[in-house]
Structure 1
């Protein structure tokens, strides 16, 4: 998410009498610690075994200060700030990953559709362990991003760690990641729309895609909006997507630390699919802007949400350029998101109306909390602020059996079933034969040993 704010500098001039008063006042703890920082930097510069780069040390200190706040606040050096702008504009050269950091480890939030990483089988929650033979432990998100990005056609060797599996060692060839935010196709009587990320082009591309699908089949009876493994993006894009399906009402609110810091975003008249049934597909790789859309459409009962509980990133990052970007920028958490009903997304996520896993392996992951990658797994994550917690490990209501064809998307099939029922779950046909069905998602304290995921 990006919201650019310009900040200026103010000089405070103290008169002699004010300075005299200040000299008699105990030194502010903040300024004492800043002085300590300067002392430590001077000692390192003088005593370290080899000459040091002070600029590098100070940038690392800034990054450490920001990441101590929460997993999504960070300092962006000038190059990192430029990379962020490229990503939100929809094109860059790299391997196609959305990543985050926690506890000295950089993890994958989501691989980008069709990118080198996605084609290599990288999944949400994978930990980046080694890059070109160098241990990645302790590297910041910016440092990992720098190593993964590069000239088109060059390669980078990456090792990913995944719970319950052997390390995945792959060589990825960098390419231009021209993020096609929205794609779509006609599936019989229904339209299928996939949003891979939320960038500056998403609202326009969604309108164009729906127009094309209507032309291809003017008699469409409903739509599926697929937000699985969509790691988010711009707030404005998520508002535009929600607005495309709503006639009125609040879409999302963001609330900062003070009561006056509340912003509300509302829909304008006009539903691009004219009130036809809509299903939203989500999973634990659906984060941030994806959760805003799913939450808004669910709260307004405009869509049925199918899949697995989303990631749970409900915080707002404001990007503040430093000296117009010459010294990089701060990406700092300034607010939380809330759905129209007042529910917090943060650490909780959006729960589906119909809980369906895509595979038996995915169902096993959900049944064991230590295998489920979510915002709640971050030790430094903000709390939800409303006293609620993310649902613990449990068995999903529906999961395909071991013999379900790998090339057949069970979650999507159930989404089409919901559309055939006119969006009314009470009229939904029973799960087909061979499907594992539990009463309402059986709560488990710990899954049996034989259910260890083998992804």
Structure 2
């Protein structure tokens, strides 16, 4: 894998802006206490601009008023942390402040094991928790939590805007129970759902043979070992097929993303050459480009990638890389549309700041920010589909999201999308349920494709 001009900072293509995500997407971070390089790059427009004195005086005046006159004493540390959070709050939904415990959990979750319920969340400004997707084979999925559910209370305690760690109570000892009060679209009353916590060990890649010669790989999230797992599971399918597959379905539905490097490595496994993804920001060190190295593990066998509105971030990187290089056809519904890059900046007290520093671009040079990837073959999940995939919650519906390069200027920030069929270009295609998507992907896989087979000439990736 070629890494051109790769900055010594860490990219985190996180789909979830929750302050303490149950399973956040990130690309790791520098060791505690290290200072990220390059963030004082003098090429930035305002890097050396001084903070206006009037603004400093205004801040000090408010700070002093709170210290002197607030109804109860407030610790300096609490006020300063609140001030830092305020700096990030109105930037975009993915720039957040992590206290040390949250930062430690953020690191832990990339390794794919933690104690909790196993659900992807977005913390809304009012403190409630919107479910992006339940993670495969976790307590949340088994209890019936669905994409789009709105968690308004935990164990009877209402969630509100003052909750700094509203998703923290979802963590806990394996075997302990938590009761979630849920607002669900179409339900005529609040739902009380009991979920028994467990040690969530996410198996990020699963395989099965759809029929002789045609394999299926489900990627649930992109973690540190996902690329290695992909190669192992692909090898098992190839053994079952007698050494070579006739085609492969890669299922990225409700995959909220994860480590950029894992997505890049999997794309590299299937590409002989070409660009995989690039990132661009305001400072030079935010600019990077990832390219493929020779060697296609499938030797040119056709690939279909399954996506939906829950496919975000690193999932969109993989789908975009394979589609733009003519290596795969994308089937399903429009993806989430998260096209921004976050850098994790550790602070000297163990806390961290996750800051949006760049946008990423598919090999064709297109940004999918707030628009997502429109599949080659469009299929839509049934309204009550368990794995989500409806467009009710996408990047474009998050308040304060970065406006996309191709996002309509008339779009109302944070406006909900009533139905995926209402989105431009998405009003075609069948409405399917469950494994009907996989059946449709398999049928697409068997169609003649324009992609020429890659000769089996060996290579480093074999």
Regarding TM over 0.5, the answer is yes
Output the TM-score relative to the length of structure 1.
0.80
In the alignment, does 2:337 pair up with 1:312? yes
CA contact (8 A) 1:366 1:396 kept: no
Q: 2:309 aligns with which of 276, 280, 284?
A: 284
In the alignment, does 2:445 pair up with 1:419? yes
Q: 1:115 to 1:69 in 2, by over 3 A?
A: same
Taking the aligned partners of 1:127 and 1:360, their CA distance within structure 2 comes to: 16
Higher helix share: 1
State the match for 1:213 in structure 2. 237
State the match for 1:16 in structure 2. none
State the match for 2:416 in structure 1. none
Give how far 1:149 is off: 1.1
Q: 1:234 to 1:133 in 2, by over 3 A?
A: same
Three-state SS of the structure 1 residue aligned to 2:431 is strand
Taking the aligned partners of 2:66 and 2:87, their CA distance within structure 1 comes to: 18
Give how far 1:160 is off: 2.3
State the match for 1:48 in structure 2. 70
State the match for 2:274 in structure 1. 249
Q: 1:413 to 1:4 in 2, by over 3 A?
A: same
State the match for 1:198 in structure 2. 222
Unaligned stretches of 5+ in structure 2? 1-11, 13-26, 38-48, 412-422, 452-462
1:162-181 alignment, distance < 5 Å: 162-166=184-188, 167-181=190-204
Taking the aligned partners of 2:236 and 2:304, their CA distance within structure 1 comes to: 19
Taking the aligned partners of 2:119 and 2:338, their CA distance within structure 1 comes to: 17
Three-state SS of the structure 1 residue aligned to 2:168 is helix
In the alignment, does 2:422 pair up with 1:397? no
State the match for 2:119 in structure 1. 97
Output the TM-score relative to the length of structure 2.
0.79
Taking the aligned partners of 2:99 and 2:383, their CA distance within structure 1 comes to: 43
1:325-344 alignment, distance < 5 Å: 326-344=349-367
Taking the aligned partners of 2:68 and 2:124, their CA distance within structure 1 comes to: 32
1:431-442 alignment, distance < 5 Å: none
Q: 1:384 aligns with which of 404, 411, 424?
A: 404
What is the CA deviation profile of residues 292-318 of structure 1, one whole-angstrom value per residue up to 9, with x for unaligned ones? 000111111111111100000010010
Taking the aligned partners of 2:389 and 2:426, their CA distance within structure 1 comes to: 6
Taking the aligned partners of 2:69 and 2:313, their CA distance within structure 1 comes to: 45
Give how far 1:152 is off: 1.8
Q: Which has the larger radius of gyration?
A: 1
Give how far 1:258 is off: 4.2
Taking the aligned partners of 2:62 and 2:425, their CA distance within structure 1 comes to: 45
In the alignment, does 2:26 pair up with 1:4? no
What's the C-alpha RMSD, in Å, of the aligned pairs?
Answer: 2.6
- Greater relative contact order, per chain length (Cα 8 Å cut-off, separation 6+): 2
Give how far 1:360 is off: 5.4
Give how far 1:110 is off: 2.1
